[in-house]
Amino acid sequence: MKNITIIVMETWDQLCDQLLVLFQVSFWRKYELLVGICLAVTFVVICASVKYLTTWKSPKKRRTRKNSSDTEAEDDIPPPNVFGSEISCNGGGDQNHSGHFIPLNWEQLSENKMLQKSKEFYQLMNLRRTVRSFSKEKFPRKIIENVILTAGTSPSGANQQPWTFVVVDDHQMKTNIRQVVEAEEEVNYKKRMGNQWVEALKHLNVNWIKPYITDAPYIVLVFKQSYVRDADGNKTYHYYSEMSTAIATGIMCAAIHNAGLVSLISTPMNCDLALSKLLQRPRGEHLLFLMPVGYPALDCTVPAIKRKNLENIFVHH
């Protein structure tokens, strides 16, 4: 019995260590996490029991409650058959759900041309840097629109294109967004993130003060669409919405650099609800990234860091 107890405790400690890494909480909250999980499980069981007891007598009532968009609890958990599907490479919507196919628009290049283009693109992207010091100089909004159109060519799960790019250039709105982000980020740095995470960021000289939100002429807030509702209120789930939106954001980052601008991909932790409300986003959309876009400030500097060489990121079989 004693050995079993030791094994259980060791297993729990290992699980907690993984959860600590996943949720980035400090060590002293390990046992608070256990209490929180137990309370959450208890709450779910109680809610499920109450719902069952209030509907089991009337099958007709159960169907009514299930189909009612007014009383149904909002959630973004897809139905159980979402796993195992492919990420569609159709991008901007040449092919949706109609089953209609068109010829692929593609040209085969010579090997020399392929080598040249791949090298030139690498050299271009190798100049890209994350920037936190922005000029207030404006540029045409059409450039941002083209960048977002490029992001929209990204592949997505079931070609559902589950993303929304909210562009903000109004100074008061940017100020309101900055206030929300800085308030949450201060709590993140001081309480939520833990010493190990904060220590890992020290060489970048960052903290919860985010002047780039109001300095950059544009900020783009990237939302994933976990689901959408049609005009009748029926819910359609989006599969792999987070991965699809992250891929689109990477393509947008490359497009911004290609246009001669600079940016930063930030992840404003715990700002989803407040910013979704501020920007009047529908339920089912969740904030993933906040990206300032513009010119670098005249005195802009970036950390002297090196990217990994090919031997450290490439494996060939």
DSSP string, 287-303: EEEEEEEEPBPTT----
Mean pLDDT score of the chain: 83
Please enumerate in sequence order all residues whose Cβ is within 8 A of that of 114, keeping only pairs 6 or more positions apart, or say none. none
pLDDT at 101 over 70: yes
* pLDDT for res 109: 97
* pLDDT for res 70: 37
pLDDT at 96 over 90: no
What pLDDT, in 10s, does the model give residues 8-61?
A: 555 555 565 555 545 554 444 555 666 667 777 777 777 676 666 655 544 444
In this structure, are residues 33 and 25 in contact, taking their beta carbons and an 8 Å threshold? yes
Q: What is the mean pLDDT of residues 181-195?
A: 93
Backbone angles phi and psi of 253, in degrees to 5 = -60, -40
Helix extents (H) in the chain: 2-23, 30-55, 59-67, 111-125, 141-151, 171-187, 195-201, 212-215, 241-258, 272-278, 310-313
* pLDDT for res 28: 45
273 band by pLDDT with thresholds 50, 70 and 90: very high
pLDDT at 119 over 50: yes
Among 168, 153, 141, 140, smallest CA distance to 93 is for 153
Put simply, whether the predicted model's pTM sits higher than 0.95 gets the answer: no
